Amino acid sequence: MMENNLIYHEIDFLLPAQRFNINFSYITQKGLPFIREFVLRLVHLAPMTKSQIATFFGFSRKEADEAITDLVERGELTLSNTGRLTLTEKSNAYFTEIGEIPRLSLLRDSGACLSFDLATFSCLGKDIASDKWKLGIAIKVDDENASRSEALVEQHFQRQFQEILHKGFLSQSLILDEKDSPSVYTINSVNKIRQMPFRLTVKFQVDHDGRNVEREDFEILNNSDYVHERITFELDRRSRPNNAIEIAKAMLDIGDGDTLKLFDSKTNRFNCSFWNDLKRLEENSQLRRTTFLGPIYSSENWGILQKYLAPILVSQIEKKADTGQELFLWLAPSDPVWGKSSRFTSSLSDFFTKASTKNKHLYTPRIYLPVSGQDDLRSARQWKHELDPYLDAAHGLTEGFLGGNVEILLFEGELVVVVYHMSLPESFPVSFPVGFVSTDSEIVATVGRLVKKYVEGSSGFERPNDGGLISRFGRSER
């Protein structure tokens, strides 16, 4: 990644993978004991008499008899028609050229539990973490890859054996001797144990000219091309129309005149020069605002939020009165790639964990998730799957707040996070999140009024925007 590039989104893609128990036989070469090796090396140079061998090594007659008898019994030396000792066909195979150290080929059995993805059948290793089919975009692969996975893994294990060996995925007994070069003799069995997702994190970047940067390949995969094709397919399915006008309207409603300047009105390119100027201005002034790029739940942006939140929580702790009634809400946008990251889980956990200490309740966390209405059971089921175990504070909210393009985190009267999820399909393959954290009382109050009006409003007769707990969708009473 070039130093001048900026990451504007991080999305996890879930690649189907399976774990296998593989049993195989391999051929390895082993060195010989000292006397045995050097007698064979000497005879390999030229046939010898017993007395010549004894003289060369300084053996007594008895020692020479014992050494040569052992080699004859092993089938490694034989007596030629000229009365000289010579190598047998068996021991000749220990050498590939004159003067080389002899190596003995041995057939051994071994086994391993290894995981392979079902797109490229790259070996992912033996200790990949168990994961769930959630908070990521699932990549679809050919059904035949799953149905024939055992046969395909057998082929790919043989092809990748040396690479798998050098990566340390196999038993150390295969590589105890650094001179050994084991090779697969036969695959005895391949048995599928289970299927799971393998999480690939893609960082979407923009260069210093504001152009989208081509995605990087995945080092763990032998070939990234097919996976990139499938990723492009999934992103195209989720693509939304250009929403620049709606975003501009939302910025006006909020009273945000700075963020809009980050995009060129004619080309839709991100203005890196203005971005750098704005960052310097915020760092060197008394503005109670920090602009950021990318999802709020990214590691860097979540850290920015914590710097603003920490003194507020300290103040809450120091207050004598109970402060836990203040609502800290997280209102999600109608962005199909929002939350598709393991980072979202970490941030969500932090959001709920910091709501209280051992001795005091500091705020009441609540998250609003977009649904088309109270009868949108499909979305409710998906959110239940994604948000477990935080469903006790997860509400369904009829989508449409500021066009569904804006994400809000609002700590009543204290702090606000605004994230604009810009859709510019002509320039970027995914949404372009850009926003700010602010403790400016006027901005906090303005956003608070917008949120309150929408959450407490309705989309029709007996159709309140706040549909209540997601966990109760589909039940007769909510």
Residues 206, 329 within the same domain: no
Indicate the DSSP class of residue 142.
Answer: -
Query: Residue 284: what pLDDT?
Result: 84
Question: Based on the domain organization, do 315 and 460 belong to the same domain?
Answer: yes
CATH code at 36? 1.10.10.10
- Parts of the chain with a pLDDT under 50: 1, 178, 477-478
Q: pLDDT tens across 57-89, in order?
A: 999 989 999 999 999 999 999 999 898 999 999
Instruction: For residue 225, report the phi and psi dihedrals to the nearest 5 degrees.
Output: -60, -50
Instruction: Give 321's contacts (C-beta < 8 A, 6+ positions apart).
Output: none
Contacts (Cβ under 8 Å, ≥6 apart) of 364: 324, 325, 326, 327, 328, 355, 393
Pair 264, 355 in one domain = yes
Burial of 407 (0-12, 13-18, 19+ CB in 10 A): buried
In this prediction, residue 476 carries a pLDDT of 52
220 plus 251 within the same structural domain: no
Query: 150 and 164: one domain?
Result: yes
Are 112 and 175 in the same domain?
A: yes
Please tell me the total count of domains within the chain.
3
478 within a domain of the structure (yes/no): no
Rounded distance between C-alpha atoms, residue 231 and residue 299, angstroms: 23
Q: Residues 270, 218: one domain?
A: no
End residue of a domain, out of 80, 102, 124: 102
Asked if 307 and 292 sit in the same domain, the reply is yes
Residue 419 belongs to some domain of the structure: yes
The pLDDT value given to residue 323: 65
Q: What is the pTM of this model?
A: 0.84
Q: Residue 37 falls within a domain, yes or no?
A: yes
- Do residues 74 and 45 both lie within one domain? yes
Q: Which residues of 265-277 are buried (b: 16+ CB within 10 A; e: fewer)?
A: eeebbbbbeebee
Which residues lie below 8 Å from residue 157, measured CB to CB, with a gap of 6+? 22, 24, 114, 123, 164, 184, 187, 190
Residues 147 and 288 in one domain: no
pLDDT at 108: 85
Give the Cα separation of 77 and 39 in Å (integer).
Answer: 10
Residue 191's domain comprises: 6-26+106-237
Q: What is the pLDDT of residue 421?
A: 97
pLDDT digits (tens, 9 = 90+) for 202-249: 999 999 888 999 999 999 999 999 999 999 999 999 999 999 999 999
Last residue of a domain, one of 202, 237, 272: 237
Domain's final residue, options 62, 79, 102: 102
pLDDT tens-digit map of 26-59: 888 776 788 888 899 999 999 999 999 999 999 9
Q: Which residues pair with 115 in a beta bridge?
A: 19, 125
CA distance 90 to 354: 73
Question: Sign of the C-alpha dihedral, residues 75, 80, 86, 87?
Answer: negative
Q: Is residue 1 part of a domain?
A: no
Judge whether 477 lies within some domain: no
How buried is residue 10: exposed, middle or buried, by Cβ count under 10 Å (0-12/13-18/19+)?
A: buried
Q: Is residue 206 situated within a structural domain?
A: yes
